[in-house]
Amino acid sequence: MNAGRGPTLRSRRPGRGYPEPPTSGELALERPAGVRLVVGLSHDVDHLGLREHVVDRFLLAAAFNALRQNVGRRFRPLRAVDQLWGLGLALFGHDRWDTIDALREHELATGVRSTWFFAMRPGLGIRYAREAAAPAIRRLADDGFEIGLHGQSHDDAAELAGEFRDLRDILGRPVHGLRMHYLRLTRGVLDGMQAAQAHYDSTVMDREHLDPATHPLPAPRRMRGRLLEIPLHVMDSTLFSVTGLGLAEDDAVDYVHRLAQRAVELERALVINLHPNYFSRQTPEIARWYRRVLDVLTSRSDTLVTDLAGLARLYCDPR
Ligand SMILES: [Zn+2]
């Protein structure tokens, strides 16, 4: 851990809470026989690659971020140079963020299934068109991965329902899960979920209580009757970014181990998000972190690693 400072987050973003009171308390996790640890894996697909940003100013912002992450609080000039080199390569067609296939194949080889949230609308740094994402979505679905919506329309329920419809048209079947881009959860989002007959959302994240020794690991609650809100606990960018906890690779692995131990003790699940574009040579410590976390989780016989739909099935309402 970073010395001298507790792992609380100095962020411009406030802690994300519920937009209205949940209609249930925290639900109890029903662990299958022999299972002590349950982990839900998810991926927010913000980028298909660097290529879709060649025409906008995102690469400039990414170059600035490469410097901010590696020169200053952490001094890693070679990493900064390599990241700038990677951005330059994108201009010539070699795309280090073209990682979806590699991540899919790694998870297939590891024997885990995760939930992938794809955006159907551009905005706030997302630039890919849904048509461009469709082949990857279908490949993942064919391999048994759950596909959810990475929602954009936080203030327009009809528009959010339209996003669900567009993803359903690509998949050829209903879409049950949602995570909002930038974690923008509002009452309008709940309206849109109801209109789209979605089952669960996984957008709430407590960004104030991140210490793995005391993390509350909040459990899902019901919203508006049957909607399920599944809180997110571990966000890759929060662990690694210098505007987040700014952890090194070993400390980030240790962070997840400690949270996993706490999840066993509290009989709660652990919900993790990895942005697929970080499973990349651009950010090798994040890619290695995720591989190491999966290695440990899948080597334990008492651990169930599942997608979020699978996780949702393990909760029952309090009696
Ligand atoms: Zn996002």
Ligand 1: centre distance to CA 124 (Å):
8
Picking from 27, 61, 99, 92, the residue whose alpha carbon sits closest to that of residue 281 is 99
Picking from 207, 202, 206, 218, the residue whose alpha carbon sits closest to that of residue 273 is 202
Domain boundaries, the chain: 32-49+97-316, 51-96
Helix H or strand E encompassing 157: helix 157-171
Ligand 1: centre distance to CA 241 (Å):
15
pTM for the predicted model, two decimal places: 0.92
Ligand 1: centre distance to CA 275 (Å):
8
pLDDT band at 295 (very low <50, low <70, confident <90, very high): very high
Ligand 1: centre distance to CA 32 (Å):
31
Rounded to whole angstroms, the Cα distance separating 82 from 70 reads 11
CATH of the domain spanning 32-49+97-316: 3.20.20.370
Ligand 1: centre distance to CA 240 (Å):
16
Strand pairing partners for 123? Answer: 126
Mean pLDDT of the chain: 92
Ligand 1: centre distance to CA 179 (Å):
8
- What pLDDT does residue 6 have? 42
Is pLDDT at 319 greater than 60 in this prediction?
Answer: no
* Three-state SS sequence of 9-39: CCCCCCCCCCCCCCCCCCCEECCCCCCCEEE
Structure tokens at 316: 């029952």
Ligand 1: centre distance to CA 169 (Å):
21
DSSP state of 14: P
Ligand 1: centre distance to CA 180 (Å):
7
Ligand 1: centre distance to CA 13 (Å):
14
Report the helix count and the strand count for the chain, using DSSP H and E. Answer: 10, 12
Tell me the longest C-alpha to C-alpha distance in the chain. 60
Is pLDDT at 14 greater than 80 in this prediction?
Answer: no
Which residues make Cβ contacts (< 8 Å) with residue 122, sequence separation at least 6?
A: 128, 129, 152
Ligand 1: centre distance to CA 152 (Å):
9
Ligand 1: centre distance to CA 274 (Å):
10
Ligand 1: centre distance to CA 125 (Å):
8
Structure tokens at 178: 């949602």
Ligand 1: centre distance to CA 302 (Å):
31
- What pLDDT does residue 154 have? 95
Structure tokens at 185: 């959860």
pLDDT, tens digit, for every residue of 226-252? 999 999 999 999 999 988 999 999 999
Ligand 1: centre distance to CA 160 (Å):
15
